[in-house]
């Protein structure tokens, strides 16, 4: 299973989600890969936001080596599941899809907890560290369920 986490700049939510998923892959010894991407070219090649790095480190996960990259059309071929953080990300991914089949791979990450609700993971970029902690809590709960479902072969 190859999973892609997507947000706007690929410096806050999606690198946090990638780091959490990687930790779950190791914890559950899953046969899976994870990556992250975004749509805002301003941060391409940048490390994750320092507040994201700090919060993740507090939870025992080091994301400091990650680098932002842009979402590519080829990601539809490379990944089995594409999880977005909000409706803007969903619409950005949808705008690059070549077919309805490609969109079958795409879902809001929090839909795993609240099916069909399309609840966003709030973007913590313009707030304080508490927003990054809240994003971590939401992502960790959702990704734990993703990992459990992978162990059961549900996903």
User: Side by side, which strands form the sheet with 33-37?
Assistant: 33-37, 2-6, 81-84, 106-108
Number of separate helices (H) and strands (E) present in the chain: 6, 4
Question: What does R_g of the chain's alpha carbons equal in angstroms?
Answer: 14
**DSSP 8-state symbol, 56:** H
Which pTM was predicted? Answer: 0.96
**DSSP 8-state symbol, 38:** B
> DSSP letters of 62-93?
--TT----B--TTHHHH-SEEEESSHHHHHHH
Q: Which CATH number goes with the domain that contains 141?
A: 3.40.50.2300
Is residue 123 part of the annotated active site? The answer reads yes
Please pick, among 75, 86, 92, 123, the residue that the annotation labels catalytic. Answer: 123
| Domain with 35 in it | 2-152
Is residue 13 part of the annotated active site? The answer reads yes
pLDDT of residue 86: 98
Is residue 7 part of the annotated active site? The answer reads yes
Query: pLDDT 10s digit of each residue in the chain, 155 long?
Result: 999 999 999 999 999 999 999 999 999 999 999 999 999 999 999 999 999 999 999 999 999 999 999 999 999 999 999 999 999 999 999 999 999 999 999 999 999 999 999 999 999 999 889 999 999 999 999 999 999 999 988 77
Residue listed under structure tokens 């960790």: 140
pLDDT of residue 128: 87
Please pick, among 13, 51, 69, 81, the residue that the annotation labels catalytic. Answer: 13
Query: Left (φ > 0), alpha (ψ -120 to 50) or beta: where does 30 sit?
Result: beta
The total number of structural domains that make up the chain: 1
pLDDT of residue 153: 81
Helix, strand, coil percentages in the chain from 3-state DSSP, rounded to 5: 50, 10, 40
């Amino acid at each position: 299973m190859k999973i892609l986490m997507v947000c706007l700049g690929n410096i806050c939510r999606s690198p946090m989600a990638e780091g959490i998923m990687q930790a779950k892959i190791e914890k559950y010894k899953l046969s899976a890969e994870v990556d992250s991407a975004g749509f805002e070219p301003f941060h391409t090649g940048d490390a994750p936001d320092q507040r994201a790095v700090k919060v993740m480190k507090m939870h025992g996960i080091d994301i400091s080596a990650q680098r932002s990259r842009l979402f590519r059309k080829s990601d539809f071929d490379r990944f089995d599941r594409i999880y977005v953080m909000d409706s803007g990300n969903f619409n950005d991914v949808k705008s690059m899809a070549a077919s309805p089949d490609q969109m079958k791979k795409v879902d809001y990450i929090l839909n795993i907890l609240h099916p069909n609700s399309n609840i966003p993971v709030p973007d913590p970029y313009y707030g304080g560290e508490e927003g990054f902690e809240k994003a971590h809590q939401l992502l960790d709960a959702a990704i734990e369920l993703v990992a459990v479902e992978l162990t059961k072969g549900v996903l």
